[in-house]
Chain A
């Protein structure tokens, strides 16, 4: 098979192999078969724009080129969702959506207003979001439809307000319902050092202490010396010489924490001995 035949065969097998990489301005898109030509897709989800010639030549404002469609499909789930949505949340929502299909089908054909509440939560507490959907038949004059829509929006706002009030401090400033870790700054809180683990990092094996704090499990990374020092700080000098992967600790302590720069993780700043009655968590 010649190189040309091979390329042709693969182009037909993978006709839409588009590569998409997020950039500061949007998404850089190029065909794997023709990587030297790349395009910038921006403005999604509301006002998509592509730097390709076909897009600029199209007179139809609703027409979307393959680059926009690919980015929309991959990063916005095809329907304009926030691209920052975590994969776990996508999965959780998908599972919930599947479960919720049966009741909604049973409601078809009735004139009742259907309300669909979708709550997504991850075990580590990073995700706790709520979506409220209403659907109702559209009938009557436009005035009546508008009135009904306003009533539903008011109800939706009230439900969301109630949810956000009970979860204030957990919702981040994007307002997308993804919980953020809030650190306790300089105020130590009870915690528990569970075990010593390890994982492959860019520069080799990295050790960490598994720490349970505020109902969350986090990791305190460091080299052997740093982890030994943390154990000594927590009042467990006996463990300091035993820092190795797989060692079980299970001891109480107190820690100060701080969220990571991107707000996704809770970092342990300082490890301190447990309070006088020895309570951990």
Chain B
């Protein structure tokens, strides 16, 4: 356990990463380590997000936007795992076609897309920030929506317990419900919806958790949390002390402020 716990702001992603593995948080945010070969799934997710944002903000054709972005990705050295550039291109095309044909008609009264928020919470010493993918009426109910891409379906309980949706509910108190719209990358790509509501008690519980995590980070407490997830963690060579492998696979970028 080492490192400095400088924390400029709080966000769901910072809190989630710390709770997943505090050492992973430290290596990512404090040490500024990143994989030399970014994960293709992450880049795919970003391209889908970009396409949906272009659709909701500017009325652009999301399929065109995605395909254009994906063409630019081709030259990059990405870690595709069992996927390939061509396979993900086709998956993206199918996903977005499905979205436009089946899901888009469910939305009315789009209020915001890629909406930044920065909240001051009296119990937290730092601003709590985030970006909400979409605020719109879903089946006529005001909903905070987060788009996800995933290799397998999300379990149903995420609708009720997902912290990210709780955080977004905190930022959009008028929303009647929150939802994950999951683009599942299976053989026949499909889109799942997980819709849930957040009670004030859940929001308060989440705030307590954020406060606790913020204190731990500020105190520079970064414990390793070994588990099965280590097998797919980019930072495993660091934890194993395999310096040669770490240097080969990781690059240090400027640590975040």
Contacts and interface: CB of A to CB of B under 8 A. Distances in A.
Contact of A35 (B50, B122, B170): B170
Given A32-B170, A224-B75, A245-B251, A17 B204 contact: yes
B71 interface: no
Question: What are the 10 A-B residue pairs with the smallest beta carbon separation, nearest first?
Answer: A35-B173, A10-B204, A204-B46, A7-B201, A20-B120, A18-B122, A74-B120, A33-B200, A17-B123, A203-B50
Interface string B181-202: 0000000000000000001110
A35 B200 contact: yes
14 contacts: A14-B204, A17-B121, A18-B121, A19-B119, A19-B122, A20-B122, A21-B171, A32-B200, A32-B204, A74-B122, A202-B46, A204-B46, A204-B47, A245-B251
Contact of A16 (B122, B169, B201, B256): B122
A245 B253 contact: yes
Given A35-B173, A202-B114, A14 B123 contact: yes
B185 to A, nearest CB: 17
Interface string A29-57: 01011111010000000000000000000
B16 interface: no
B255 to A, nearest CB: 10
B86 interface: no
B121 A203 contact: no
A202 B45 CA distance: 11
A84 interface: no
B17 to A, nearest CB: 12
A70 interface: yes
Contacts of B169: 35
A73 B122 contact: yes
Nearest to A37: B173
Most buried by A among B49, B117, B122, B254: B122
Given A197-B254, A224-B75, A6 B205 contact: yes
A70 B122 contact: yes
Contacts of A197: 253-254
Interface in A148-199: 197-199
B173 A10 contact: no
Interface residues of B, number: 39
A139 B42 CA distance: 70
Interface string B88-118: 0000000000000000000000000010011
Secondary structure of the A contact surface, majority rule: mixed
Contact of A20 (B121, B199, B208): B121
A115 to B, nearest CB: 32
Chain A's interface size range is 35 or more
Given A10-B204, A10-B208, A19-B120, A203 B253 contact: no
Contacts of A205: 34, 38, 43
A144 interface: no
A30 B173 contact: yes
B251 A246 contact: yes
Nearest to A33: B200
B200 to A, nearest CB: 5
A49 B167 CA distance: 28
B72 interface: yes
A135 interface: no
Nearest to B171: A21
B239 interface: no
Given A10-B204, A16-B123, A32-B207, A21 B253 contact: no
A270 B80 CA distance: 36
Contacts of A198: 34, 253
A199 B38 CA distance: 12
Contacts of B21: none
Nearest to A34: B200
B201 A3 contact: yes
Nearest to B126: A87
Interface string B150-183: 0000000000000000000111011000000000
A13 interface: yes
A13 B122 CA distance: 13
Contacts of A202: 46, 49, 114, 131
Contacts of B201: 3, 6-7, 10
Interface in B193-228: 199-201, 203-205, 207-208
